[in-house]
Chain A
């Protein structure tokens, strides 16, 4: 199965280092959520991936080969800065874009009908784009990315500005495309959405990837966490289990992290922890903590001690 690979991408705008050797792989049939703060380099990476920007160093590959025009024509792209011809009719515009992507006249026509139907704007095809509401323009923009039936999808913030119904439609479409074997890379600040939709999450900070993996991977990456409603940690019980440290404590609630490198089965460590707590006092509740992506993300981007890229301060660029 072919993969979309971003390999060691570097990009500077003058003194600003937007990307610092960033790499990411999106496999066929996989949805990867691309998250990171404003200016972290998401847009720069995506623009390089679709070929509108050239990397200073590094390479973008599809199926093991550098991307050329014949491949980039097979990419469905939604730029961060939305753009359509304002005075062109929706149908003509989408048909034109499909033709530019190499579809025949009849294929383009059929695709325009299909995608405007799916995204609920089929009765607006004869209207000029500028006459549509912003939300509907956004749907046209999504149609523009999908209308050529692309082999690869690169979408920069596809969900921003969509109403909940459109978000559901779009989520379904992305899943369906992925199931059809298309690698999907999209960026978003809506982390709940990313958590729900994505097979893997890629977190970028200051132009470098700080974490890539499934939500489950990310949860266990820094070690498992357990929450204990029982004796105060000041009594010293967490310290009696090897590799454990207290990460949070409030009243009777204590969150303990079990280091990833203890080598023991997670459940054994959990059992040992529970025994230690019980030995110190009554325990009302005990269980694993499943942090949301929001928390994982916060950890990942705030953790500057061991995972921050070498050298340079964080730079704010027009990513």
Chain B
């Protein structure tokens, strides 16, 4: 039997055990429900960000195109519909079929609204009214108002920012939160599954039976692999549900979020973070023999997870270029928790992500080697807690 076959057996047992576990199924179900529910709540809160609709009568019909041009220039969207006459226009406003109606003479039109205009609409209609006035003057002076309107519409404002604030929209901020929270929860729960599994085998002494047949590294690697597969499927499921909800409800229509890249990197960072954290926790857990001692021995690593997460989640969405956030996104162990947020926020270059990933990945061989050594030396020593130094010592 090959080492690979052994790994497959050990990993297979972990997977089938976790899949049967009610706690795991519940957590996954709740996470999926949370992201789907969160998406729906967000959708309701934003309301439909659809374009404002404006009714025009046959008399005000010539204003339709200039209005669309103005809307495009000011980054708003307007839908124009035609109605029979002023009375019909007012009725449409009354029944909230449209947000506003342009009635009366095109050169001196009236905006009919139900209660008031929004600030954006008010600005648009003001420009429209000024253009109409300008048109009359141009006509009086013997010019062509249409040519003037075209000229106006093509005039664009150039803004040059000396210190531009990073651009991010609501969709990116929401994705940043989801990425941060999901990775933290997934890494924390799966890495703890590994440490509990290690101590379960140690405290029930089944480890002695297993290690009379397979090598310690095979047991540890198989466990990490199996729980990793489970954790990754959990992340795929939850992230997939989040993405599906966002796309289905059109939450990201107006966002410049790069969903594919964000998802892909989130999975990659989970895998890398999982290998790092689970090796560390497996090694530490192998030092103790009772479930109640696991928390104490793994606390340093768990704190190592909580700190960057809290800093990241409370600063990054509002200030993605904050120095602490940027630094943490490169520091191994912190990077898997912080970098995915920055990626979702769209404020980081691909080469920067790759550099950070490589930095963390470079640490993996050393970490796995040390973890394997500690685990192999400590896992059969039941009783009092084994000191790290003892476990690392060459035998």
- Seen from chain A, the residues whose Cβ lies within 8 Å of a Cβ on chain B are 47, 50-54, 69, 72-73, 75, 77, 79, 81-88, 96-97, 99-102, 144, 318
Contact = CB atoms under 8 A, between A and B. Distances in A.
A75 B213 CA distance: 8
B59 interface: no
Interface in B201-241: 201, 204-215
B253 to A, nearest CB: 47
Contact of B209 (A72, A73, A97): A97
Closest 10 CB pairs of A and B: A83-B205, A83-B206, A81-B205, A102-B1, A50-B212, A77-B212, A79-B208, A100-B213, A52-B211, A83-B204
A88 B205 contact: no
A22 to B, nearest CB: 19
Given A53-B380, A84-B204, A100-B9, A79 B1 contact: no
14 contacts: A52-B211, A54-B395, A69-B214, A72-B212, A77-B209, A79-B209, A81-B205, A81-B208, A81-B382, A82-B205, A83-B209, A85-B201, A99-B9, A101-B213
B13 interface: yes
B6 interface: yes
Nearest to A97: B209
A51 B215 CA distance: 10
B17 interface: yes
Interface residues of B, number: 24
Contacts of B215: 69
Contacts of B210: 100
Interface string B266-295: 000000000000000000000000000000
B1 A96 contact: no
B55 to A, nearest CB: 68
Interface in B172-217: 200-201, 204-215
A101 B211 CA distance: 11
Contact of A51 (B205, B212, B382, B383): B212
Counting chain B CB atoms within 10 Å of each CB, the highest count among A52, A53, A77, A318 belongs to: A52
Contacts of A50: 212
A85 B206 contact: yes
A79 B9 contact: no
Interface string B142-161: 00000000000000000000
A227 B10 CA distance: 62
B380 A52 contact: yes
B205 A79 contact: yes
A83 B206 CA distance: 4
A129 B206 CA distance: 12
A75 B212 contact: yes
A54 B212 CA distance: 12
A100 B2 CA distance: 11
Interface string B13-34: 1000100000000000000000
Given A52-B208, A73-B213, A77-B209, 16 more contacts: A73-B1, A79-B205, A81-B205, A82-B205, A83-B204, A83-B205, A83-B208, A83-B209, A85-B206, A86-B204, A87-B17, A96-B9, A96-B13, A100-B213, A101-B213, A144-B209
Nearest to B383: A318
Nearest to B200: A85
Contacts of B9: 96, 99-100
A87 to B, nearest CB: 8
Contacts of B207: 83
A88 B16 CA distance: 10
A101 B214 CA distance: 8
A77 B209 CA distance: 7
Nearest to A103: B1
A244 to B, nearest CB: 50
A227 B200 CA distance: 58
Nearest to B16: A92
A47 B206 CA distance: 14
A83 B205 CA distance: 4
A111 B395 CA distance: 38
Given A75-B212, A77-B212, A85 B1 contact: no
A92 to B, nearest CB: 8
